[in-house]
Structure 1
Amino acid sequence: MYISMDKVLRSISIALDLAEMSSIGTNSIIEDVTNIDYSKHLFLNHSQRTCYISLCLAKALNINGTHLEELYVSSLLHDIGATNFLSKSHSSNEFILGHCLTGSEITKSFPIFNNISNFILYHHENWDGSGALKIKKDHIPVQSQIIRLADLTDLLYSDDIPSYSQKTHITSWIKKNKNKIFCPEVVDAFLEVSSTDMFWLDLENTSYLKYVLDKVSPIYDYELDLYKFMDIAYIFSEIIDNKSAFTAEHSREIAELCYRVGKTIGYDETKCIKLKIAGLLHDIGKLAIPKEILDKNGSLNKDEFSIIKSHPYYTNIILNRFGEIGDIGFWACNHHEKLNGKGYPRGLKSKDLCEEDRVIAVCDIYQALIEDRPYREGMDFNRAFSILDKMVSEGLLCDKAVYYLKKAITQKN
Structure 2
Amino acid sequence: MDGSVRLAEVLGALSRALDITEGQPPGHCVRCCWIGVHVGRNLGLDEAALRDLYYTLLLKDLGCSSNAARICELYLADDLTFKRDFKHLDGSLPQVLRFVIAHTGAEAGLAERFRSVVNIMRNGGEIVTSLIETRCQRGAAIARQMRFSEDVAQAIIDLDEQWNGAGKPMGKIGTEISLFARIALLAQVADVFYMAGGPDAALAEIKSRAGTWFDPAVVFAFCEVAADAEFWTILSRPDIEAVVLDLEPGQQDAVADENYLDDIARAFAQVIDAKSSFTSGHSERVAVFSDLIAEEMGYHAARRRWLKRAALLHDIGKLGVSNSVLDKPGKLDDDEWVSMRDHARLSEDILSRIGAFADLAVVAGAHHERLDGKGYPNGKTADELDLDTRILSTADVFDALTADRPYRKAMPVSKALSILWEGAGASHDPTCIAALERALARSERDVA
TM-score of the two chains, using structure 2 as the length reference: 0.81
Following the alignment from structure 1 to structure 2, what is the Cα–Cα distance between the partners of residues 170 and 139?
Answer: 26
Aligned counterpart in structure 2 of residue 136 of structure 1, from 173, 183, 190? 173
One-letter amino acid of the structure 2 residue matched with residue 4 of structure 1: R
Identify the residue that residue 213 of structure 1 maps to in structure 2: 244
Following the alignment from structure 1 to structure 2, what is the Cα–Cα distance between the partners of residues 288 and 175?
Answer: 32
Aligned counterpart in structure 2 of residue 68 of structure 1, from 32, 43, 50? 50
- The DSSP-based 3-state class of the residue aligned with 2:166 is coil
Contact preservation (8 Å) 1:74, 1:116:
yes
Contact preservation (8 Å) 2:398, 2:416:
yes
CA-to-partner distance for each residue in 1:198-252, whole Å, 9 max, x for gaps? 233344x252322553564435342222222111111111111111121111111
Structure ranking higher in helix proportion? 2
Q: Which moved more, 1:231-240 or 1:297-306?
A: 297-306
Following the alignment from structure 2 to structure 1, what is the Cα–Cα distance between the partners of residues 336 and 134?
Answer: 29
Contact preservation (8 Å) 2:68, 2:323:
no
Aligned counterpart in structure 2 of residue 17 of structure 1, from 19, 23, 30? 19
One-letter amino acid of the structure 1 residue matched with residue 16 of structure 2: I
Question: How far apart are residue 112 of structure 1 and its match?
Answer: 3.7
Following the alignment from structure 2 to structure 1, what is the Cα–Cα distance between the partners of residues 244 and 439?
Answer: 46
- The DSSP-based 3-state class of the residue aligned with 1:63 is coil
Identify the residue that residue 300 of structure 1 maps to in structure 2: 332
Contact preservation (8 Å) 2:296, 2:439:
yes
Which residues of 2 match residues 192-341 of structure 1 at below 5 A? 192-203=224-235, 205=236, 207-214=238-245, 216-221=247-252, 222-325=254-357, 327-341=359-373
Identify the residue that residue 162 of structure 2 maps to in structure 1: 126
Question: How far apart are residue 266 of structure 1 and its match?
Answer: 1.7
CA-to-partner distance for each residue in 1:313-344, whole Å, 9 max, x for gaps? 11101111122135333322221111122222
**1:270–1:57 CA distance, 2 compared to 1 (3 A):** same
Contact preservation (8 Å) 1:275, 1:356:
yes
**1:349–1:411 CA distance, 2 compared to 1 (3 A):** same
Unaligned runs of 5+ in 2: 75-126
Identify the residue that residue 430 of structure 2 maps to in structure 1: 399
Contact preservation (8 Å) 2:191, 2:202:
no
Which residues of 2 match residues 27-106 of structure 1 at below 5 A? 42-89=24-71, 90=74, 91-106=127-142
CA-to-partner distance for each residue in 1:123-144, whole Å, 9 max, x for gaps? 2222233322232222322212
Following the alignment from structure 1 to structure 2, what is the Cα–Cα distance between the partners of residues 179 and 358?
Answer: 56
Contact preservation (8 Å) 2:27, 2:241:
no
Contact preservation (8 Å) 1:127, 1:181:
yes
Following the alignment from structure 1 to structure 2, what is the Cα–Cα distance between the partners of residues 228 and 210?
Answer: 22
Which residues of 2 match residues 350-389 of structure 1 at below 5 A? 350-389=382-421
CA-to-partner distance for each residue in 1:141-187, whole Å, 9 max, x for gaps? 2212211211222233343x3x26xx1x5434433433332222212
Unaligned runs of 5+ in 1: 22-41
Aligned counterpart in structure 1 of residue 191 of structure 2, from 141, 147, 154? 154
Contact preservation (8 Å) 1:108, 1:115:
no
Contact preservation (8 Å) 2:32, 2:191:
yes
Contact preservation (8 Å) 1:4, 1:322:
no
Question: How far apart are residue 59 of structure 1 and its match?
Answer: 2.2
Identify the residue that residue 89 of structure 2 maps to in structure 1: none
Q: Which moved more, 1:69-78 or 1:294-303?
A: 294-303
**1:155–1:228 CA distance, 2 compared to 1 (3 A):** same
Q: Which moved more, 1:302-311 or 1:82-91?
A: 82-91
Question: How far apart are residue 113 of structure 1 and its match?
Answer: 5.1
One-letter amino acid of the structure 1 residue matched with residue 141 of structure 2: E
CA-to-partner distance for each residue in 1:265-308, whole Å, 9 max, x for gaps? 12111111111111111111111111111111112222222221
Contact preservation (8 Å) 2:15, 2:58:
yes
Identify the residue that residue 220 of structure 2 maps to in structure 1: 188
TM-score of the two chains, using structure 1 as the length reference: 0.87
CA-to-partner distance for each residue in 1:53-92, whole Å, 9 max, x for gaps? 1012122122231111111100111111111122234433
Following the alignment from structure 1 to structure 2, what is the Cα–Cα distance between the partners of residues 359 and 58?
Answer: 46
Following the alignment from structure 2 to structure 1, what is the Cα–Cα distance between the partners of residues 350 and 202?
Answer: 31
One-letter amino acid of the structure 1 residue matched with residue 60 of structure 2: H
One-letter amino acid of the structure 1 residue matched with residue 41 of structure 2: K
- The DSSP-based 3-state class of the residue aligned with 2:423 is helix
Q: Which moved more, 1:113-122 or 1:84-93?
A: 84-93
Question: How far apart are residue 9 of structure 1 and its match?
Answer: 0.7
One-letter amino acid of the structure 1 residue matched with residue 8 of structure 2: D
Alignment length (residue pairs): 386
One-letter amino acid of the structure 1 residue matched with residue 374 of structure 2: K
Tell me the C-alpha RMSD between the 2 structures: 2.0
Q: Which moved more, 1:115-124 or 1:322-331?
A: 322-331
Question: How far apart are residue 254 of structure 1 and its match?
Answer: 0.6
Identify the residue that residue 82 of structure 2 maps to in structure 1: none
